[in-house]
Amino acid sequence: MSDRMLVGHLSTGRTGPIQPSRNIDRSSQGVTESTPFSEVLSSKQLKFSHHAEQRLQQRGIELLPDQIKRITNAIEQAAAKGAKDSLVLFRDIAMIVNVPNRTVVTAMDGQSMKEHIFTQIDSAVVVS
């Protein structure tokens, strides 16, 4: 028995025409064509999930740019130690942060933290 190939039944895997690459202006993000890749990776900014934004707003928590920078630096240190999901304590604010994605998943104030158990974290970071 021989395996037969039928001409016209082979596919390249493409389902449509190849789209030209979009020109994205990254200069506003501080990234240019000459920016080293390692620098792009290290310039990750702290992001907030939709849930975290809602919690911050509901609980009246406001973070200033300087405070976000300090939290971001602490998360960078946690990442260097291999942290994945961290409890970040800053003043009377507790945040659960997905460290590899630099994303705050949820946040709560001191009043909401009372009698609360934090699970599924592998580290805790206290930001001074």
Name which of 5-9, 82-86, 87-91 the model is least confident about.
Answer: 5-9
Whether the CB-CB separation of 114 and 121 falls below 8 Å is answered with: no
Segment 19-23 mean pLDDT: 48
At residue 111, the 3 state secondary structure works out as helix
98 pLDDT higher than 70: yes
Whether the CB-CB separation of 31 and 40 falls below 8 Å is answered with: yes
Handedness of CA 53, 59, 65, 66 (dihedral sign): negative
Instruction: For the full predicted model, state whether its pTM sits above 0.85.
Output: no
Residue 11 backbone phi and psi in degrees, to 5: -125, 145
Position 3 scores a pLDDT of 53
Name which of 4-8, 45-49, 56-60, 64-68 the model is least confident about.
Answer: 4-8
Q: Give the pLDDT band of residue 13 (cuts 50, 70, 90).
A: very low
Q: What would the two tokens of residue 70 be?
A: 């300090």
Bigger pLDDT: 55 vs 44:
55
Q: Give the pLDDT band of residue 74 (cuts 50, 70, 90).
A: very high
Q: What would the two tokens of residue 107 be?
A: 């946040």
CA distances to 5, 37, 43, 55, 87 from 40, rounded to whole Å, are: 47, 5, 5, 30, 26
Position 44 scores a pLDDT of 64
69 pLDDT higher than 80: yes
Bigger pLDDT: 3 vs 67:
67
Q: Which residue has the tokens 């970071």?
A: 125
Position 1 scores a pLDDT of 52
How many Å is the maximal CA-CA distance in the chain?
76
> Residue 55 burial (CB < 10 Å; 0-12/13-18/19+)?
buried
